[in-house]
């Protein structure tokens, strides 16, 4: 898909220029764990609207392009939707995900990296929500590596509930873990559990080593409740998720 790669490279350059303009301090750790060649599934946590841009940007040193599975409504936006389609990202309709799953399998068969957010929606607690089975299912189906990735700090720039900032020099940490390979006879659920454990460990390390702290009590919103932040705990966050779905009629933020 040479045409999509041209568009992808151009978009990555533009995003990189915007990051530099804003002075974002992007710290990528473990990028060597991304396969340099061949198919794979990249599973990321979901805390903000820019997660896929950070994960895609982090793959630059490996000269890889990640085709993300994203909610269909993104593809309906002016300009953004055209770019998403041109880059061969995968639109997901929550009412019928089979078509997106088949498209993702075709990308894997073509030797591509497919990006999946196993939580499906943004976590308002900033901690991991329960996982859907799609990421592990793709990896088991095609026997390809499953690469855990976490982003931390990107939610301070743009996320749910009106949180957005034009502050310069916000640090963003991206951690890529060692690829997981499904063992002989391993079930999708078992691999998904291993994925969650790996991402839990990466997220804890990213939070613990993040080079910034809240400026005041009002700024504690971006820290999890168990790190002294004012974010809701996972149970309360789940209630807020259901309320948001009731307001907008969509299971995806």
pLDDT of residue 93: 85
Tens digits of per-residue pLDDT, 90-117? 999 877 778 999 999 999 999 999 999 9
pLDDT of residue 252: 42
At 246, the pLDDT band (50, 70, 90 cuts) reads confident
Strand order in the sheet with 40-44: 25-29, 171-176, 146-152, 40-44, 113-116, 66-71, 90-92
- Predicted model pTM: 0.94
Tens digits of per-residue pLDDT, 57-93? 999 999 999 999 998 888 988 888 899 999 999 999 8
Calculate helix-pair angle for 188-208, 134-142, nearest 10 degrees.
120
On the question of pLDDT at 129 being above 90, the answer is: yes
CA distance 92 to 84: 12
pLDDT of residue 5: 85
């Amino acid at each position: 898909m040479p045409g999509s790669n041209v568009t992808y490279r151009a978009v990555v350059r533009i995003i990189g220029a915007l990051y530099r303009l804003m002075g974002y301090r992007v710290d990528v750790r473990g990028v060597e764990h991304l396969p340099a060649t061949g198919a794979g599934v990249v599973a990321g946590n979901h805390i903000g609207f820019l997660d896929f841009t950070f994960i895609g940007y982090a793959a630059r040193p490996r000269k890889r392009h990640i085709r993300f599975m994203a909610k269909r409504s993104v593809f309906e936006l002016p300009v953004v939707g055209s770019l998403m389609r041109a880059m061969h990202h995968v639109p997901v309709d929550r009412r019928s995900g089979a078509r997106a799953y088949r498209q993702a399998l075709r990308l894997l068969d073509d030797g591509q990296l497919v990006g999946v957010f196993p939580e499906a929606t943004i976590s308002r607690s900033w901690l991991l929500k329960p996982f859907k089975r799609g990421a592990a299912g793709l990896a088991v189906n095609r026997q390809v590596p499953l690469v855990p990735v976490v982003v931390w700090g990107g939610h301070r720039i743009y996320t749910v509930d009106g949180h957005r900032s034009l502050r310069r020099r916000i640090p963003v940490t991206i951690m890529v873990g060692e690829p997981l390979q499904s063992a002989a006879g391993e079930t999708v659920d078992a691999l998904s559990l291993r994925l969650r454990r790996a991402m839990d460990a990466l997220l804890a390390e990213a939070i613990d080593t993040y080079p910034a702290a809240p400026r005041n009590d009002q700024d504690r919103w971006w820290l999890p409740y168990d790190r002294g932040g004012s974010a809701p705990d996972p149970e309360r966050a789940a209630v807020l998720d259901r309320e948001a779905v009731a307001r907008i009629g969509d299971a995806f933020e």
